[in-house]
């Protein structure tokens, strides 16, 4: 089957990544051709601790010389935009933590197919943004993996070691090679790049263009209807 391939570089703690995902899904709802979506790893905060101690609001407030209240004010705008997409964020309550283990599990899920990976991506985003859960916590990650049907033994093996860490790093290096300096970053058919949580209309335009270029219409030469046969018979 010929399809449009969409690769998405994103992080599970990136609010615009969740918003961009919803906008892409809006575009795909009216796109009549097959697609394959694959999620690629990107870490917004690779120095974040494995053991989460601060909420996002506390971290932002402290970073810019304030407290949790000031941090929440910075978050209010993106939460309002998310609400327009039907997403009720609790970002200020979420814990700041390292996401490398979440990305390693996403690679494990991809081994079972893009659809499984997509379900895990949605579950991790929902855990962090909608339920304010700590996606650095292995119990939270294991629960998310179980929800989408990943093998419990394999999940424990991956979380206990360093498996797929090289795949995470490879994704990050490839993003840099493509010129991505932030996420979400969408690559369509390895030809078009879309940076940021663009409106659904933008995704629709790029998807239609990618499909038309991979399925060009023929230039018809001639066209004498008296010398053709069709469903209603032949002109004699």
Contact assessment for residue 102 and residue 120, using Cβ atoms and an 8 Å cutoff: no
Q: Considering the domain boundaries, does residue 34 fall inside one? A: yes
| pLDDT surpassing 80 at residue 222 | no
* 66-91 mean pLDDT: 94
Confidence (pLDDT) at 230: 64
What's the mean pLDDT when you consider all of the chain? 93
Query: CB atoms < 10 A from the CB of 53, how many?
Result: 10
Give the pLDDT confidence of 170-185 residue by residue, as tens digits: 999 999 999 999 999 9
Task: Write the CATH number for 155.
Answer: 3.40.30.10
DSSP strand E in the chain: where?
A: 4-10, 35-41, 185-188, 192-195, 229-230, 233-234
Task: Using a cut of 0.85, tell me whether the model's pTM lies above it.
Answer: yes
Instruction: Compute the distance between CA of residue 4 and CA of residue 32 in angstroms, rounded to an integer.
Output: 11
Confidence (pLDDT) at 235: 63
What is the tally of structural domains in the chain?
1
Q: Considering the domain boundaries, does residue 209 fall inside one? A: yes
H or E segment at 200?
helix 200-214
Closest by CA position to 18, among listed 83, 74, 96, 68: 83
Give the pLDDT confidence of 116-169 residue by residue, as tens digits: 999 999 999 999 999 999 999 999 999 999 999 999 999 999 999 999 999 999
Which residues span the domain enclosing 186? 4-53+95-214
Q: Considering the domain boundaries, does residue 116 fall inside one? A: yes
Confidence (pLDDT) at 214: 81
| pLDDT surpassing 90 at residue 223 | no
Confidence (pLDDT) at 27: 98
Q: Considering the domain boundaries, does residue 63 fall inside one? A: no
Q: Considering the domain boundaries, does residue 118 fall inside one? A: yes
Rg (CA), the chain: 22
Q: Considering the domain boundaries, does residue 64 fall inside one? A: no
* 6-20 mean pLDDT: 98
Confidence (pLDDT) at 184: 98
Instruction: Compute the distance between CA of residue 173 and CA of residue 42 in angstroms, rounded to an integer.
Output: 9
Q: Considering the domain boundaries, does residue 31 fall inside one? A: yes
Q: Considering the domain boundaries, does residue 46 fall inside one? A: yes
For 12, the token pair is 């599970």
List phi, psi (to 5°) of 208. -65, -40
Instruction: Compute the distance between CA of residue 133 and CA of residue 65 in angstroms, rounded to an integer.
Output: 25
Closest by CA position to 136, among listed 95, 168, 166: 95
Higher pLDDT, 145 or 213: 145
């Amino acid at each position: 089957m010929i399809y449009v391939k969409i690769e998405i570089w994103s992080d599970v703690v990136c609010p615009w990544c969740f918003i961009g995902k919803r906008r892409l899904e809006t575009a795909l709802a009216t796109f009549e051709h097959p697609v394959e979506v694959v999620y690629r790893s990107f870490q917004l905060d690779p120095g974040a601790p494995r053991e989460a101690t601060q909420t996002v609001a506390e971290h932002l407030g402290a970073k810019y010389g304030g407290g949790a209240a000031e941090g929440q004010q910075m978050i209010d705008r993106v939460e309002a935009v998310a609400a327009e997409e039907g997403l009720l964020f609790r970002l200020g309550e979420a814990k700041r933590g390292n996401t490398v283990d979440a990305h390693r599990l996403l690679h494990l899920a991809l081994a079972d197919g893009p659809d499984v990976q997509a379900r895990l991506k949605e579950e991790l985003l929902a855990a962090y943004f909608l339920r304010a859960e700590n996606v650095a916590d292995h119990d939270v990650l294991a629960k998310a993996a179980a929800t989408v049907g990943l093998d419990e033994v394999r999940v424990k093996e991956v979380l206990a070691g360093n498996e797929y860490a090289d795949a995470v790093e490879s994704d990050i290096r490839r993003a840099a090679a493509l010129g991505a300096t932030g996420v979400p970053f969408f690559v369509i058919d390895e030809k078009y790049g879309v940076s940021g949580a663009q409106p659904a209309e933008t995704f629709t335009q790029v998807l239609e263009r990618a499909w038309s270029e991979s399925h060009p219409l023929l230039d018809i030469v001639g066209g004498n209807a008296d010398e053709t046969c069709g469903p209603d018979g032949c002109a004699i």
